[in-house]
Structure 1
Amino acid sequence: MLTAIVISLAVVFVAELGDKSQLIAITYALRHRWWVVLSGVGLAAMLVHGLSVTIGHFLGLTLPDRPIAFAAAIAFLLFAAWTWRSGHSGDDGDIRVAEARFVVPAIVSSFVLAELGDKTMLATVALASDHHWAGVWIGATVGMVAADGVAIAAGAVLHRRLPVRFLHNLASVLFLSFGVWILFDAALGMRWAAVAATGSVATIAALAMAVGAVRRRPVPNVLVRR
């Protein structure tokens, strides 16, 4: 069992580095308290890898990729709209949502949908077929929480150094990009369209935020002597 824990932890931690789940963790950390995000990640990791272990060790089934991808794409597009609306519904103060009863379910659902059929889940399924199922579950869960914890720390640092409204806009754009990518790539199987659409979204968003920053820049008072 100890061997299964160590191997699963190492495999999942490495697989999560640079993966979309880390970007999702950063996105949530831009808006919410780190312990709320980490709690959601922990619950999602337990669910996802529990399902992986069940599939790999007990059932030997495969998941329907495209229906899950469509559901994930729709969820991220809804998260993008929700984030944008919440970021523009108040003032520029600290408008992070601190109540975990609303935030944690959103975090858990988005992580579960993003991880279903992902390489991390497939790796856990493979490990569970050859190693102790409980050890794989524990190791994979800890590995995912550790990797995404690094991303959450990065998001918390950014939150202290950048304006709140900018962070909300950035989070909304990231959610929108995730949704567009998953829709075209995983759901429709059109990688070229996914690259083009996601690149277009990122470019338009960057230009819009740049224009907004210029417009909000205070105009210096210039005294003209006569």
Structure 2
Amino acid sequence: MEAFLVSSGIVALAEIGDKTQLLAFILAARFRKPLPIILGILVATLANHGFAGAIGTWITGLASPELMRWVLGLSFIAMAVWTLIPDKIDDDTAAVTRFGVFGTTLIAFFLAEMGDKTQIATVALAAQYQDFAMVVIGTTLGMMIANVPAVLLGERIAERMPVRLVHGIAALIFAILGIATLAGAGAGLGL
């Protein structure tokens, strides 16, 4: 349950102001059809984070527990720093429109999420908790928590969101996870 709660919470916070949330705003403003946009986000996130979770789970079998502890601890600390760097949307990501609203959202979200901090966090969380299903479900829920309101409420919510504060909280959580991992937390889990 911890893997699910931490994964959903940290991704929901990290996603505020992220390029994929900005993409959700753009798609909502352009198409004004929330249901296919939300479904496209869900399917793209499940595919992307499923892949990331599988990599995270696979990696734990390749390295010693001591090496994994250092890699994960430093990865979480790097995520803390990365979370504090504002994202910008790439124009080419939102330009794919010949596939309809659902298809455009699916393709744009999947591509925008490649190498994104929430995808990298999914890899690290899956490696940390060694619970593929709970991490992927949690990170997907976190993405939906952050992006569904963006689709439904659009610009009204964007102007009122304290993005710097939310990013600071997410960065703090990543840093705490990193320090705890380096200090040996999770050692009983084989890390």
TM-score range, shorter chain: 0.5 to 0.7
Residues in 2 aligned to 1:56 and 1:116: alpha-carbon distance in whole angstroms: 15
Measured on the aligned residues, the alpha-carbon RMSD in Å equals 2.7
1:34–1:156 CA contact under 8 A, matched in 2:
no
Structure label with greater radius of gyration:
1
Residues in 2 aligned to 1:78 and 1:37: alpha-carbon distance in whole angstroms: 15
Tell me, yes or no, if structure 1 residue 104 matches structure 2 residue 102.
yes
Residues in 1 aligned to 2:18 and 2:141: alpha-carbon distance in whole angstroms: 16
2:53 alignment counterpart = 53
Matches within 5 A, 1:68-107: 75-76=92-93, 78-79=95-96, 82=97, 102-107=100-105
Q: Match for 2:108: what amino acid?
A: S
Q: Deviations over 1:109-148 (max 9, x none)?
A: 1111111101111111000001111100100001101100
Quickly say closer, same or farther: Cα 1:36–1:77, change in 2 above 3 A: closer
Q: Deviations over 1:189-221 (max 9, x none)?
A: xxxxxxxxxxxxxxxxxxxxxxxxxxxxxxxxx
> Normalising to structure 1: TM-score of the pair?
0.51
1:49–1:140 CA contact under 8 A, matched in 2:
yes
* % identical equivalent positions: 34
Q: Secondary structure at the match of 1:18?
A: coil
Unaligned stretches of 5+ in structure 2?
A: 63-88, 158-191
List, as ranges, runs of 4+ consecutive aligned residues in structure 1 with deviation greater than 2 Å: 72-79, 154-158
Number of residue equivalences: 128
Residues in 2 aligned to 1:21 and 1:78: alpha-carbon distance in whole angstroms: 14
Tell me, yes or no, if structure 1 residue 24 matches structure 2 residue 23.
yes
Q: Match for 1:105: what amino acid?
A: G
Which structure ranks higher in relative contact order (CA pairs < 8 Å, sequence separation ≥ 6)?
2
2:180 alignment counterpart = none
1:29–1:156 CA contact under 8 A, matched in 2:
no
Residues in 2 aligned to 1:74 and 1:154: alpha-carbon distance in whole angstroms: 22
1:14 alignment counterpart = 13
Matches within 5 A, 1:198-213: none
1:115 alignment counterpart = 113
The Cα of 1:157 is off from its aligned counterpart by 6.3
Quickly say closer, same or farther: Cα 1:108–1:137, change in 2 above 3 A: same
Unaligned stretches of 5+ in structure 1?
A: 62-71, 84-100, 159-226
Q: Deviations over 1:14-66 (max 9, x none)?
A: 110011111110111112311111111111110111011011112579xxxxx
The Cα of 1:77 is off from its aligned counterpart by 6.7
Q: Match for 1:126: what amino acid?
A: A
1:68 alignment counterpart = none
